[in-house]
């Protein structure tokens, strides 16, 4: 039994359920932990402890107690995958909810069909990843349902920009080896719409049927939001993966209309052609970006995404 005065230890949060956390210490021991009013942190987000957090623990008497440790300190986050709670009227920053912390790599998962491939969402993720300087890979799952040249065509601009694209079928176990290699030795978070197959892929990759997976709606092809909490799993061969709940729309709360242009990396080499230094690349004459779109140097779908995100950013926020 661990004694009350056991030395403090540190670990990583792998699971959150209500007010209870699973923390794996540096030597691989698992603890059931909780926070207490004295839990300290310098992180400003609404979420005190999330999956991926590095925390300091104080062990407590186990005996009859439900918990084996209390979290005394949540260390600063190196990175954070966030989403905004649906509180339209109160758009304060405190409402940003962290889904996963300290990730090295963001894995954007889309599916070819059910739900249908959506590059607008990919572009939102990429803007976020560029702004956070996060490595990103794109996974196109369910290639057993549809693997047309159109699908591959849609992904060409991403490859041209240097993003790595993986084609998989979690169902038919295709493309798993290459994906596994890209995840080795890193902490990666899988994110994407509900029903694209994130949990199914992670079950395949980790070799356990541990995560619950769900059907997609027959009529709409949309997922049913099966995963409700983030969970971190070990990848045999090295690396960790965080499964996250399906998102409806990806939050870009820290992006402004002014800095958005810097996160479309293909814009960078054409911006100096704009007549105005404050060019928004929407309606201005002599705009280097618009010219590049017309000449085909910038993909028009990517530009449409820029406009859509630009429009969606509240100027006053
Ligand atoms: N045909 C086909 N179906 C798949 C594939 N991968 C997953 N599915 C199915 O898609 C449905 C949704 O899969 P999940 O893994 O639950 O999707 P998810 O992305 O985790 O969804 P949320 O947890 O709701 O965000 C399930 O019925 C899976 O069996 C695939 O490669 N091919
Ligand atoms: Mg899931
Ligand atoms: Zn311009």
User: Please, what are the domains in the chain?
Assistant: 9-74 (2.40.50.140), 81-243 (3.40.50.300), 260-312 (1.10.40.50)
- For strands 240-243 and 231-234, give the pairing: antiparallel
Torsion on CA atoms 290, 293, 299, 301, rounded to nearest 10? 60
Interval between CA 152 and ligand 2 midpoint (Å)? 25
Which residue puts its alpha carbon closest to atom 6 of ligand 1?
Answer: 197
**Phi, psi for residue 309 in degrees, rounded to 5:** -70, -40
Q: Model-level pTM greater than 0.85?
A: yes
What pLDDT band is residue 7 in, cutting at 50, 70 and 90?
A: low
Give per-residue pLDDT as tens, 84-98. 665 554 554 456 789
Give the other-Cβ count within 10 Å of 248's Cβ. Answer: 12
Using a pLDDT cut of 90, give the percent of the chain over it: 76
φ/ψ of 31, rounded to 5, equals -125, 140
Task: Give long-range contacts, CB 8 A cutoff, 24+ apart: 19-25.
Answer: 20/66, 20/67, 21/49, 21/55, 21/71, 23/55, 23/57, 23/69, 23/71, 25/57
Question: Which range has the top average pLDDT, 15-19, 102-106, 114-118, 220-224?
Answer: 102-106
Q: For a substitution probing ligand 1, which of 195, 201, 205 has the most ligand atoms within 8 Å of its CB?
A: 195
Q: How far apart are CA 218 and CA 221, in angstroms?
A: 6
CA gap 60, 160 in Å, rounded: 54
Least confident range of 7-16, 77-86, 238-247, 284-293: 77-86
* pLDDT at site 65: 59
Does the beta carbon of 216 lie inside 6 Å of ligand 1?
yes
Position 291 pLDDT exceeds 90:
yes
In sequence order, what DSSP letters do the residues of 198-265 get, joined into one string? HHHHHHHHHTS--S----B-TTT--B-----S-EEEEPTTS-EEEE---BSS---TT--TTTGGGGSG
Predicted confidence (pLDDT) per residue in 92-150, tens digit: 445 678 999 999 999 999 999 999 998 999 999 999 999 999 999 999 999 999 999 99
- Which pLDDT band holds residue 5 (cuts at 50, 70, 90)? low
Banded pLDDT at 54 (limits 50, 70, 90):
very high
Our CA dihedral for 35, 36, 37, 39, rounded to 10 degrees, sits at -50
- Residue 296's contacts (CB-CB under 8 Å, 6 or more residues apart) are none
Q: What is the pLDDT of residue 95?
A: 61
Ligand nearest to the CA of 290: 3
Q: Specify whether the CB–CB gap between 266 and 303 falls below 8 A.
A: no
With a 6 A CB cut-off, is 246 part of the ligand 1 pocket? yes
Q: Is the pLDDT of residue 290 over 90?
A: yes
- Of 4-8, 50-54, 138-142, 254-258, least confident by mean pLDDT is 4-8
- Per-residue pLDDT, averaged over 211-226, amounts to 90
pLDDT of residue 28: 87
Question: How far is residue 153 CA from its own chain's centroid?
Answer: 24
Distance CA 157, CA 296 (A): 11
265 CA → ligand 3 middle, Å: 14
User: 69-74 and 105-111: which strand pairing?
Assistant: unpaired
Share above pLDDT 70 across residues of the chain, in percent, rounded to a whole number: 91
Among protein residues, the one whose CA lies closest to atom 7 of ligand 1:
197
Task: Output the residue whose Cα is nearest ligand 1's atom 14.
Answer: 197
Rounded CA separation 5/3 (Å): 5
Counting ligand 1 atoms within 8 A of each CB, the residue from 139, 190, 197, 244 with the most, and so the one to mutate, is: 197
Q: 193 C-alpha to center of ligand 2: Å?
A: 9
Give the model's pLDDT for residue 220. Answer: 86
What are the beta bridge partners of residue 40?
A: 73
| pLDDT value at residue 248 | 83
Q: Is the CB of 82 inside a 6 Å radius of any atom of ligand 1?
A: no
Please state the atom number of ligand 1 nearest to the C-alpha of residue 215: 27
């Amino acid at each position: 039994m661990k004694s009350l005065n056991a030395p403090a230890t540190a670990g990583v949060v792998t699971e959150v359920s209500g007010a209870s956390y699973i923390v794996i210490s540096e030597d691989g021991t698992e603890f059931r932990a909780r926070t207490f009013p004295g839990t300290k942190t310098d992180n400003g987000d609404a979420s005190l402890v999330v999956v991926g957090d590095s925390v300091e623990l104080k062990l407590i008497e186990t005996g009859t107690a439900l918990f084996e440790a209390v979290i005394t300190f949540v260390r600063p986050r190196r990175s954070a995958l966030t989403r905004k709670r649906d509180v339209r009227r109160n758009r304060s920053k405190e409402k940003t909810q962290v889904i996963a912390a300290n990730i090295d790599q963001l894995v954007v998962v889309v599916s070819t069909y059910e739900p249908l491939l959506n590059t607008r969402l990919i572009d939102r993720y990429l803007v976020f990843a560029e702004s956070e300087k996060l490595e990103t890979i794109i996974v196109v799952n369910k290639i057993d349902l549809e693997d047309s040249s159109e699908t591959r065509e849609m992904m060409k601009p991403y490859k041209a920009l240097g993003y790595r694209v993986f084609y998989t079928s979690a169902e038919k176990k295709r493309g798993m080896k290459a994906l596994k290699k890209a995840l080795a030795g890193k902490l990666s978070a899988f994110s994407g719409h509900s029903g694209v197959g994130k949990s199914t892929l992670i079950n395949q990759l980790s070799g356990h049927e541990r995560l619950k997976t769900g059907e997609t709606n027959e009529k709409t092809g949309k997922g049913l939001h099966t995963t409700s909490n983030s969970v971190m799993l070990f990848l045999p061969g090295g690396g960790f993966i965080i499964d996250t709940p399906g998102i409806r729309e990806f939050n870009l709360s820290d992006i402004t209309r002014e800095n958005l242009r810097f996160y479309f990396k293909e814009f960078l080499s054409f911006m100096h052609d704009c007549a105005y230094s404050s060019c928004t690349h929407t309606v201005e004459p002599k705009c280097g970006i618009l010219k590049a779109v017309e000449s085909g140097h910038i993909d028009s779908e990517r530009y449409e995404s820029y406009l859509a995100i630009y429009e969606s950013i509240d100027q006053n926020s």
